[in-house]
Amino acid sequence: GYAEIDATIDAINKGHIYRYVSKPWEDNDITLTIRHALHQKQLERDKQRLEELTYRQNEELKELNASLETKVSARTEELRQTMGFLEAAHEKLKQGFITSIRVFSNLVEMREGGMAGHSRRVAELSRAIAWQMGMKEADVQDVFLAALLHDVGKIGFPDYLLEKPFSTLTAEERGAVIKHPAKGQTALMALEPLHNAGKLIRSHHEHFDGSGYPDGLAGLEIPLGARIIALANEYDSVQLGTLLSKHLKQADAMLFIQDGRGRRYDSAVVDAFIAVMGANTETAPARPEQALHSEQIRPGMVLSRDLMTKQGELLLSKDYRLDELLIGQIRNFEQLGDKLTLYVYEKKQAQA
């Protein structure tokens, strides 16, 4: 009966059969039904194919993302290492350049007898004052280099004139001496990295009140670096006896500088100088320094002080990292009869 037919149709439909057609049927109806069934089947296949394609593409995208992250991470690490190598190379070049300047400065002083070490002391004090005054690193570097070379214009001076106090010079001798700052700047003209230092060298004998030389500049017309070097230079010179007709002790030299506040020297520079001198034992935590002979030093140790001969000649500047070649050269030098003491520390390697 009809109940059995309805149950049969329901069972067929639940079995995912496209359609049940009962007799009798029209040919057009059955043709249309078959066509619809084929179309439906094609749609199902297309849907399944698209779902599988989407799944595969999603999986490939996941793998690509994971691979890309790995590649980016690897490339980033390569760039970091490359930057580290470049920074190390730059630092080595900079250190080598500064050492060359210090050696050249030392060669200038070799003619000056009792003046040996003067430029080095002026450079160290000038750098400390520049840092105290908040100057930028590049400007501090210019101050340091200019201070090392501030007397380069005296290379052509006769020996007797190098140590003669300025206050005892004849008019003719003074005429020669006041030209040495400008000559010093000219001597460095061909060295582009020292152009800024050359400007400071030219003005390092200018006085804040305008009474200096060679250009008679006054006040803020004088570059700050030159104002700093002027004070540091004269602080050392009055102790050596090359500025006045007598040698001053350190305490008297400090009083001489303070008496020149606002006249010979910029008051702000004097204040920074006093701060540096008052804090010279607190500037930095002490390194675990060792005093060793050449047979005790090892590659990788770093000089904590300048390596000087007994005659005050600079061999290597402080912060220089020693290697086997340098150690061998130091030992060869000692065979000439000059036994050296090296002040060193061991620099810890940065953790990766």
Complete DSSP assignment for 193-218: GGHHHHHHHHTTT--TTS--SSS---
26-69 pLDDT tens trace: 778 778 888 888 888 888 888 889 988 998 888 888 888 888 88
At residue 118 the predicted structure's pLDDT band, cuts being 50, 70 and 90, is: confident
Instruction: Count other Cβ atoms within 10 Å, centred on residue 43.
Output: 10
Burial of 278 (0-12, 13-18, 19+ CB in 10 A): exposed
Is pLDDT at 285 greater than 80 in this prediction?
no
pTM score, whole prediction = 0.62
Q: From the centroid of its chain, how far is CA 348?
A: 19
Is pLDDT at 282 greater than 70 in this prediction?
no
CATH: 3.80.10, 3.90.105, 3.30.1360, 3.30.70. Which one for 287-352?
Answer: 3.90.105
At residue 75 the predicted structure's pLDDT band, cuts being 50, 70 and 90, is: confident
pLDDT computed for residue 214 by the predictor = 95
Dist. CA 77–CA 255, nearest whole Å: 56
120: helix, strand or coil: helix
Task: List the chain domain ranges.
Answer: 2-66, 110-283, 287-352
> Which of the residue ranges 157-161, 209-213, 254-258, 260-264 would you say has the lowest mean pLDDT?
157-161
Q: From the centroid of its chain, how far is CA 221?
A: 29
Confirm or reject CATH 1.10.3210.10 for domain 110-283, answering yes or no.
yes
Instruction: Count other Cβ atoms within 10 Å, centred on residue 105.
Output: 22
163-217 pLDDT tens trace: 788 889 999 999 999 999 999 999 888 888 889 999 999 999 999 999 999 999 9
CA angle 20, 21, 24 (to 5 degrees): 160
pLDDT computed for residue 321 by the predictor = 83
